[in-house]
Amino acid sequence: MFRNAVRPVLGGRPAWIVVGLLVVLLSATIVRTQQPPAAPAPQATPTKSPYVFAGDAAMILNFIKADKAADFEMVIGRLKEALAKSENPQRKQQAASWKVFKAAEPGPNGSVIYVSVMEPVVKGADYSVSNILAESFPTEVQALYKSYSEAFGTPSQNMLNLTMSVDLSK
C-alpha cells in the first residue's frame, strides 16, 4: 500500500500571491503583455486607463532590467511618498491596499520581477504610477518617469484584474 504524505497548504495572502504568480507565469494566454507604460498623452476623447481595475483585486508584474532595479525601487519609494502625502482620500485607500513584492526568482532575460498586489482594489481609482507622481511631484515627474520607463525589460509588464472565485479563509 502506498502512502501519500500530505502537507497543509499555507493559508492567507502569501499563498494567494504564490498561486497568482504561478497562474500568471504558466498561463501566457491569460496574461496580456504590454509595452513599457507610456506617459499619458492628451486625447480628444477620453479613454479608460488600463490602470483602473474592475475586479476585486489586481496584480501587476513588472519585469525590470537587473541593472535598473535600484532606479525602479527609487521611483516606487517616491510613489509611496506621493500616496502618503496626498490629501486625496482615494489615494490613502490605494496606499493601504497596495503592496509591492520582489521575486527571488529571476524573470525572462535575467530580469528582476516586482509584483504589485492591490487587494482590495479601490474602485474607480487610477493606479498609473506616472499620474500619481505628477500629482505630488509636478516638477520632478519627467525625470522620475524617465528612470521608471527605462527600467523595464522585455516583456515589460503584465496586468491582471482578479475577481474572487473562492475565499478559502471563510
Could you give all domains of the chain from N- to C-terminal order, each with its CATH number? Answer: 13-25+55-162 (3.30.70)
Which pLDDT belongs to residue 31? 39
Task: Report whether pLDDT(13) > 80.
Answer: no
More confident residue, 49 or 44: 49
Cα distances from 75 to residues 103, 104, 124, 141, in angstroms, run 18, 20, 23, 10
Which pLDDT belongs to residue 122? 96
Task: Report whether pLDDT(67) > 80.
Answer: yes
C-alpha to C-alpha distance for 157 and 126, rounded to whole angstroms: 17
CA-wise closest residue to 37 among 129, 118, 169: 129
Cell of 75: 521611483
* Average pLDDT for 106-132: 96
Q: What is the DSSP letter of 55?
A: S
Which pLDDT belongs to residue 27? 43
Task: Report whether pLDDT(6) > 90.
Answer: no
Which pLDDT belongs to residue 36? 56
Task: Report whether pLDDT(4) > 80.
Answer: no
Which pLDDT belongs to residue 32? 44
pLDDT category of residue 48 using cuts at 50, 70 and 90: confident
* Average pLDDT for 34-63: 76
Task: Report whether pLDDT(128) > 80.
Answer: yes
